[in-house]
Protein backbone atom coordinates (compact mmCIF):
# COMPACT_ATOMS: atom_id res chain seq x y z
CA UNK A 1 0.00 0.00 0.00
CA UNK A 2 1.23 3.47 -0.89
CA UNK A 3 2.35 5.85 1.84
CA UNK A 4 -0.41 8.31 0.95
CA UNK A 5 -3.09 5.62 1.36
CA UNK A 6 -1.63 4.52 4.69
CA UNK A 7 -1.52 8.09 5.97
CA UNK A 8 -5.06 8.82 4.79
CA UNK A 9 -6.53 5.65 6.27
CA UNK A 10 -4.65 6.05 9.56
CA UNK A 11 -5.89 9.65 9.97
CA UNK A 12 -9.43 8.62 9.03
CA UNK A 13 -9.37 5.64 11.38
CA UNK A 14 -8.22 7.78 14.30
CA UNK A 15 -11.04 10.28 13.73
CA UNK A 16 -13.65 7.51 13.30
CA UNK A 17 -12.52 5.89 16.55
CA UNK A 18 -12.85 9.25 18.25
CA UNK A 19 -16.38 9.72 16.87
CA UNK A 20 -17.35 6.19 17.90
CA UNK A 21 -15.98 6.75 21.39
CA UNK A 22 -17.97 9.99 21.60
CA UNK A 23 -21.20 8.18 20.63
CA UNK A 24 -20.67 5.43 23.20
CA UNK A 25 -19.83 7.84 26.02
CA UNK A 26 -22.83 10.02 25.14
CA UNK A 27 -25.21 7.04 25.17
CA UNK A 28 -23.81 5.86 28.48
CA UNK A 29 -24.19 9.25 30.11
CA UNK A 30 -27.48 10.11 28.41
CA UNK A 31 -29.69 8.06 30.79
CA UNK A 32 -28.65 9.99 33.87
CA UNK A 33 -28.83 13.36 32.13
CA UNK A 34 -32.20 12.70 30.50
CA UNK A 35 -33.66 11.35 33.75
CA UNK A 36 -32.53 14.48 35.58
CA UNK A 37 -34.15 16.80 33.03
CA UNK A 38 -37.37 14.71 32.93
CA UNK A 39 -37.67 14.96 36.72
CA UNK A 40 -37.37 18.74 36.47
CA UNK A 41 -40.02 18.88 33.72
CA UNK A 42 -42.39 16.59 35.64
CA UNK A 43 -42.05 18.80 38.68
CA UNK A 44 -42.94 21.86 36.64
CA UNK A 45 -45.98 20.20 35.00
CA UNK A 46 -47.49 19.14 38.27
CA UNK A 47 -49.56 16.02 39.22
CA UNK A 48 -49.97 14.94 35.60
CA UNK A 49 -46.23 15.03 35.08
CA UNK A 50 -45.71 11.64 36.73
CA UNK A 51 -47.81 9.91 34.06
CA UNK A 52 -45.91 11.74 31.29
CA UNK A 53 -42.47 10.91 32.66
CA UNK A 54 -41.91 7.69 30.59
CA UNK A 55 -43.01 9.38 27.36
CA UNK A 56 -40.83 12.41 28.04
CA UNK A 57 -37.78 10.27 28.82
CA UNK A 58 -38.26 8.09 25.75
CA UNK A 59 -38.77 11.11 23.49
CA UNK A 60 -35.68 12.86 24.74
CA UNK A 61 -33.56 9.67 24.40
CA UNK A 62 -34.81 9.10 20.84
CA UNK A 63 -34.17 12.74 19.94
CA UNK A 64 -30.63 12.63 21.30
CA UNK A 65 -29.85 9.35 19.54
CA UNK A 66 -31.30 10.58 16.24
CA UNK A 67 -29.25 13.77 16.45
CA UNK A 68 -26.06 11.83 17.11
CA UNK A 69 -26.73 9.39 14.28
CA UNK A 70 -27.54 12.26 11.93
CA UNK A 71 -24.21 13.92 12.75
CA UNK A 72 -22.18 10.78 11.90
CA UNK A 73 -22.17 11.29 8.07
CA UNK A 74 -21.14 14.93 8.49
CA UNK A 75 -18.46 13.93 10.99
CA UNK A 76 -17.12 11.28 8.64
CA UNK A 77 -17.09 13.74 5.74
CA UNK A 78 -15.18 16.32 7.75
CA UNK A 79 -12.86 13.59 9.02
CA UNK A 80 -12.17 12.38 5.48
CA UNK A 81 -11.41 15.91 4.25
CA UNK A 82 -9.16 16.59 7.23
CA UNK A 83 -7.32 13.30 6.76
CA UNK A 84 -6.95 13.99 3.04
CA UNK A 85 -5.51 17.46 3.65
CA UNK A 86 -3.13 16.23 6.35
CA UNK A 87 -1.92 13.28 4.26
CA UNK A 88 -1.34 15.51 1.24
CA UNK A 89 0.70 17.96 3.31
CA UNK A 90 2.92 15.18 4.60
CA UNK A 91 3.17 13.55 1.18
CA UNK A 92 4.19 16.84 -0.41
CA UNK A 93 7.30 16.98 1.76
CA UNK A 94 7.98 13.26 1.29
CA UNK A 95 7.71 13.54 -2.49
CA UNK A 96 10.06 16.54 -2.51
CA UNK A 97 12.59 14.58 -0.47
CA UNK A 98 12.22 11.58 -2.75
CA UNK A 99 12.69 13.61 -5.94
CA UNK A 100 15.56 15.51 -4.32
CA UNK A 101 17.38 12.32 -3.35
CA UNK A 102 16.96 11.00 -6.90
CA UNK A 103 18.40 14.25 -8.26
CA UNK A 104 21.34 14.12 -5.86
CA UNK A 105 21.99 10.50 -6.83
CA UNK A 106 22.00 11.61 -10.48
CA UNK A 107 24.62 14.28 -9.77
CA UNK A 108 22.37 17.38 -9.60
CA UNK A 109 24.02 18.84 -6.50
CA UNK A 110 22.56 22.33 -7.05
CA UNK A 111 19.01 21.21 -6.16
CA UNK A 112 17.57 22.73 -2.98
CA UNK A 113 14.33 21.92 -1.15
CA UNK A 114 11.96 24.56 0.29
CA UNK A 115 12.42 25.11 4.02
CA UNK A 116 8.93 26.24 4.99
CA UNK A 117 7.57 25.41 8.41
CA UNK A 118 8.94 24.39 11.80
CA UNK A 119 8.27 20.65 11.87
CA UNK A 120 10.61 17.67 11.62
CA UNK A 121 10.16 17.37 7.85
CA UNK A 122 11.33 20.97 7.44
CA UNK A 123 14.33 20.18 9.61
CA UNK A 124 15.00 17.15 7.40
CA UNK A 125 14.81 19.37 4.30
CA UNK A 126 17.24 21.80 5.92
CA UNK A 127 19.73 19.00 6.55
CA UNK A 128 19.16 17.74 3.01
CA UNK A 129 20.07 21.17 1.62
CA UNK A 130 23.17 21.25 3.81
CA UNK A 131 24.19 17.88 2.41
CA UNK A 132 23.57 19.16 -1.13
CA UNK A 133 25.78 22.19 -0.55
CA UNK A 134 28.55 19.98 0.84
CA UNK A 135 28.32 17.60 -2.13
CA UNK A 136 28.30 20.54 -4.54
CA UNK A 137 31.46 21.87 -2.94
CA UNK A 138 33.12 18.45 -3.12
CA UNK A 139 32.13 18.08 -6.77
CA UNK A 140 33.42 21.56 -7.58
CA UNK A 141 36.69 20.70 -5.84
CA UNK A 142 36.95 17.46 -7.79
CA UNK A 143 36.41 19.22 -11.12
CA UNK A 144 38.87 21.97 -10.19
CA UNK A 145 41.42 19.38 -9.13
CA UNK A 146 41.16 17.49 -12.42
CA UNK A 147 41.39 20.74 -14.38
CA UNK A 148 44.36 21.98 -12.41
CA UNK A 149 46.22 18.67 -12.59
CA UNK A 150 45.66 18.55 -16.34
CA UNK A 151 47.00 22.10 -16.60
CA UNK A 152 50.05 21.29 -14.45
CA UNK A 153 50.82 18.18 -16.52
CA UNK A 154 50.49 19.98 -19.84
CA UNK A 155 53.73 21.97 -19.50
CA UNK A 156 56.18 19.16 -18.63
CA UNK A 157 54.51 16.73 -21.02
CA UNK A 158 54.69 19.28 -23.83
CA UNK A 159 58.34 19.88 -23.07
CA UNK A 160 59.08 16.15 -23.06
CA UNK A 161 57.39 15.80 -26.42
CA UNK A 162 59.41 18.67 -27.80
CA UNK A 163 62.68 17.17 -26.62
CA UNK A 164 61.73 13.78 -28.03
CA UNK A 165 60.93 15.34 -31.42
CA UNK A 166 64.20 17.29 -31.30
CA UNK A 167 66.09 14.05 -30.71
CA UNK A 168 64.21 12.34 -33.52
CA UNK A 169 64.99 15.19 -35.91
CA UNK A 170 68.60 15.30 -34.63
CA UNK A 171 68.42 19.04 -33.93
CA UNK A 172 69.51 18.62 -30.28
CA UNK A 173 72.49 16.83 -28.87
CA UNK A 174 71.56 13.67 -26.93
CA UNK A 175 73.41 14.87 -23.82
CA UNK A 176 71.54 18.19 -23.80
CA UNK A 177 68.21 16.51 -24.47
CA UNK A 178 68.75 13.93 -21.74
CA UNK A 179 69.44 16.66 -19.17
CA UNK A 180 66.30 18.52 -20.21
CA UNK A 181 64.22 15.33 -20.10
CA UNK A 182 65.53 14.48 -16.64
CA UNK A 183 64.61 17.99 -15.46
CA UNK A 184 61.04 17.61 -16.69
CA UNK A 185 60.82 14.12 -15.20
CA UNK A 186 61.88 15.51 -11.83
CA UNK A 187 59.14 18.14 -12.15
CA UNK A 188 56.58 15.40 -12.80
CA UNK A 189 57.84 13.40 -9.83
CA UNK A 190 57.61 16.48 -7.61
CA UNK A 191 54.06 17.12 -8.79
CA UNK A 192 53.04 13.51 -8.08
CA UNK A 193 54.67 13.63 -4.65
CA UNK A 194 53.01 16.93 -3.76
CA UNK A 195 49.60 15.75 -4.96
CA UNK A 196 49.91 12.62 -2.84
CA UNK A 197 50.89 14.68 0.20
CA UNK A 198 48.18 17.32 -0.22
CA UNK A 199 45.53 14.60 -0.47
CA UNK A 200 46.78 13.07 2.80
CA UNK A 201 46.92 16.47 4.49
CA UNK A 202 43.36 17.38 3.46
CA UNK A 203 42.13 13.94 4.57
CA UNK A 204 43.92 14.27 7.91
CA UNK A 205 45.87 11.07 7.16
CA UNK A 206 49.42 12.46 7.17
CA UNK A 207 51.69 10.82 9.72
CA UNK A 208 53.27 13.00 12.41
CA UNK A 209 56.21 12.15 14.67
CA UNK A 210 55.62 14.60 17.49
CA UNK A 211 58.51 15.52 19.72
CA UNK A 212 59.91 18.46 21.66
CA UNK A 213 62.56 20.52 19.87
CA UNK A 214 64.22 23.91 19.89
CA UNK A 215 62.87 26.41 17.30
CA UNK A 216 66.35 27.89 16.82
CA UNK A 217 67.73 24.62 15.46
CA UNK A 218 65.05 24.33 12.79
CA UNK A 219 65.51 27.97 11.77
CA UNK A 220 69.29 27.64 11.49
CA UNK A 221 68.89 24.53 9.36
CA UNK A 222 66.44 26.30 7.06
CA UNK A 223 68.74 29.29 6.64
CA UNK A 224 71.71 27.07 5.80
CA UNK A 225 69.63 25.12 3.30
CA UNK A 226 68.38 28.18 1.40
CA UNK A 227 71.40 30.49 1.56
CA UNK A 228 72.68 29.23 -1.76
CA UNK A 229 69.33 29.73 -3.49
CA UNK A 230 69.06 33.24 -2.08
CA UNK A 231 72.48 34.14 -3.52
CA UNK A 232 71.48 32.79 -6.93
CA UNK A 233 68.41 35.05 -6.90
CA UNK A 234 70.49 38.01 -5.76
CA UNK A 235 68.71 38.19 -2.39
CA UNK A 236 69.77 38.46 1.22
CA UNK A 237 68.47 35.82 3.62
CA UNK A 238 68.36 37.16 7.18
CA UNK A 239 67.61 35.41 10.46
CA UNK A 240 66.09 37.18 13.47
CA UNK A 241 65.63 35.42 16.80
CA UNK A 242 64.16 36.67 20.05
CA UNK A 243 66.07 35.07 22.88
CA UNK A 244 65.32 32.88 24.65
CA UNK A 245 62.78 30.79 22.72
CA UNK A 246 61.00 27.99 24.63
CA UNK A 247 60.90 24.45 23.19
CA UNK A 248 57.86 23.61 21.07
CA UNK A 249 55.91 20.44 20.35
CA UNK A 250 55.65 19.30 16.74
CA UNK A 251 57.11 17.20 13.97
CA UNK A 252 60.63 18.44 13.18
CA UNK A 253 60.57 17.16 9.60
CA UNK A 254 57.12 18.63 8.88
CA UNK A 255 58.10 21.95 10.47
CA UNK A 256 61.14 22.08 8.20
CA UNK A 257 58.85 21.31 5.26
CA UNK A 258 56.58 24.23 6.15
CA UNK A 259 59.57 26.57 6.36
CA UNK A 260 60.91 25.22 3.05
CA UNK A 261 57.60 25.91 1.27
CA UNK A 262 57.35 29.43 2.70
CA UNK A 263 60.98 30.27 1.94
CA UNK A 264 60.72 28.90 -1.62
CA UNK A 265 57.72 31.14 -2.31
CA UNK A 266 59.39 34.16 -0.74
CA UNK A 267 62.59 33.72 -2.78
CA UNK A 268 60.68 33.29 -6.03
CA UNK A 269 58.47 36.32 -5.48
CA UNK A 270 61.05 38.81 -4.24
CA UNK A 271 62.86 40.95 -6.85
CA UNK A 272 66.64 40.76 -7.06
CA UNK A 273 68.32 42.95 -4.47
CA UNK A 274 65.56 42.40 -1.90
CA UNK A 275 65.58 40.56 1.37
CA UNK A 276 63.82 37.56 2.89
CA UNK A 277 63.76 37.46 6.68
CA UNK A 278 63.26 34.35 8.76
CA UNK A 279 62.27 35.02 12.38
CA UNK A 280 60.60 33.54 15.45
CA UNK A 281 59.26 34.89 18.73
CA UNK A 282 57.11 33.68 21.58
CA UNK A 283 53.43 34.60 21.39
CA UNK A 284 51.54 33.53 24.48
CA UNK A 285 51.47 29.74 24.69
CA UNK A 286 52.94 29.37 21.19
CA UNK A 287 56.01 30.28 19.16
CA UNK A 288 55.33 32.30 16.03
CA UNK A 289 57.55 31.57 13.01
CA UNK A 290 57.59 34.25 10.29
CA UNK A 291 58.89 34.48 6.72
CA UNK A 292 58.89 38.09 5.45
CA UNK A 293 59.83 39.26 1.98
CA UNK A 294 60.26 42.65 0.32
CA UNK A 295 58.36 41.73 -2.81
CA UNK A 296 55.48 43.63 -4.44
CA UNK A 297 52.93 42.10 -2.07
CA UNK A 298 49.69 40.27 -2.76
CA UNK A 299 46.54 42.10 -3.80
CA UNK A 300 43.72 41.96 -1.19
CA UNK A 301 41.41 40.11 -3.57
CA UNK A 302 44.03 37.36 -3.95
CA UNK A 303 45.20 37.15 -0.35
CA UNK A 304 42.28 34.99 0.81
CA UNK A 305 42.97 32.47 -1.97
CA UNK A 306 46.70 31.86 -1.57
CA UNK A 307 46.15 28.65 0.42
CA UNK A 308 43.94 27.06 -2.23
CA UNK A 309 45.31 24.23 -4.32
CA UNK A 310 47.12 25.31 -7.51
CA UNK A 311 46.44 28.95 -6.78
CA UNK A 312 48.74 31.52 -8.35
CA UNK A 313 48.20 35.25 -8.17
CA UNK A 314 49.38 37.40 -11.05
CA UNK A 315 52.25 36.81 -13.37
CA UNK A 316 54.27 39.54 -11.67
CA UNK A 317 54.76 37.23 -8.68
CA UNK A 318 56.13 34.36 -10.74
CA UNK A 319 59.86 34.23 -11.31
CA UNK A 320 59.70 31.88 -14.24
CA UNK A 321 60.13 28.18 -14.93
CA UNK A 322 60.19 25.75 -12.04
CA UNK A 323 57.96 27.85 -9.85
CA UNK A 324 56.57 24.81 -8.06
CA UNK A 325 53.54 22.56 -8.13
CA UNK A 326 51.07 25.13 -6.77
CA UNK A 327 50.12 23.15 -3.66
CA UNK A 328 52.98 24.14 -1.34
CA UNK A 329 50.96 26.62 0.72
CA UNK A 330 48.05 24.19 0.93
CA UNK A 331 50.38 21.55 2.31
CA UNK A 332 52.02 24.02 4.70
CA UNK A 333 48.71 25.18 6.19
CA UNK A 334 47.44 21.61 6.55
CA UNK A 335 50.62 20.50 8.33
CA UNK A 336 50.55 23.50 10.68
CA UNK A 337 46.95 22.82 11.63
CA UNK A 338 47.64 19.10 12.11
CA UNK A 339 50.32 20.04 14.64
CA UNK A 340 47.87 22.23 16.55
CA UNK A 341 48.97 25.56 15.08
CA UNK A 342 47.83 28.02 12.44
CA UNK A 343 49.22 29.49 9.24
CA UNK A 344 48.25 33.02 8.17
CA UNK A 345 49.26 35.49 5.49
CA UNK A 346 49.35 39.27 5.50
CA UNK A 347 50.57 41.54 2.75
CA UNK A 348 51.13 45.16 1.75
CA UNK A 349 53.01 47.04 -0.92
CA UNK A 350 56.16 46.59 1.20
CA UNK A 351 56.00 42.79 1.02
CA UNK A 352 54.26 39.74 2.42
CA UNK A 353 54.43 37.95 5.76
CA UNK A 354 53.60 34.26 6.16
CA UNK A 355 53.48 33.15 9.79
CA UNK A 356 52.69 29.86 11.48
CA UNK A 357 52.56 28.88 15.14
CA UNK A 358 53.49 25.83 17.17
CA UNK A 359 52.48 25.27 20.76
CA UNK A 360 55.06 25.65 23.48
CA UNK A 361 56.01 22.26 24.94
CA UNK A 362 54.50 21.53 28.33
CA UNK A 363 57.12 20.80 31.01
CA UNK A 364 55.66 17.32 31.52
CA UNK A 365 55.84 16.48 27.81
Mean pLDDT by 10 residues, the chain (365 residues): 66 74 69 62 61 64 71 75 75 82 84 79 85 84 76 81 87 87 85 82 84 94 93 94 89 94 91 95 94 91 82 48 67 93 92 95 65
Residue 235: which residues within 8 A CB-CB, separation 6 or more?
A: 267, 270, 272, 273, 274, 275, 276
Output the pLDDT for position 363: 61
Output the pLDDT for position 316: 39
Output the pLDDT for position 212: 95
Output the pLDDT for position 135: 86
Output the pLDDT for position 322: 44
Q: What secondary structure letter does DSSP report for 361?
A: P
Q: What secondary structure letter does DSSP report for 245?
A: -
The 10 Å Cβ neighbour count of residue 207 is: 8
pTM value is 0.60
Distance separating alpha carbons of residues 25 and 56, to the nearest angstrom: 22
221-241 core/surface letters (b: 16 or more CB in 10 A; e: else): ebbeebeeebeebebebeeee
Residue 201: which residues within 8 A CB-CB, separation 6 or more?
A: 330, 331, 334, 335, 338
Distance separating alpha carbons of residues 324 and 333, to the nearest angstrom: 16
Output the pLDDT for position 223: 94
Output the pLDDT for position 227: 92
Amino acid sequence: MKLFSRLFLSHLLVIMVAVGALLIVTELLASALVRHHVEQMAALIGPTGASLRPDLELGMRNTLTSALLASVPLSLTVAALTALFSARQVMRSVVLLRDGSHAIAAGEYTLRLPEEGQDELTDLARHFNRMGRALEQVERGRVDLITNVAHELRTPLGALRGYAEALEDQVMAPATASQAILREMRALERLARDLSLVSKVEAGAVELRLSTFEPKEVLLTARTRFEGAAEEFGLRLALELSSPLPPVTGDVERTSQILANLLSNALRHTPSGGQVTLSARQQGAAVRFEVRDTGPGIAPEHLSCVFERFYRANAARTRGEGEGSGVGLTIARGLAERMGGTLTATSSSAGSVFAFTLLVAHPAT
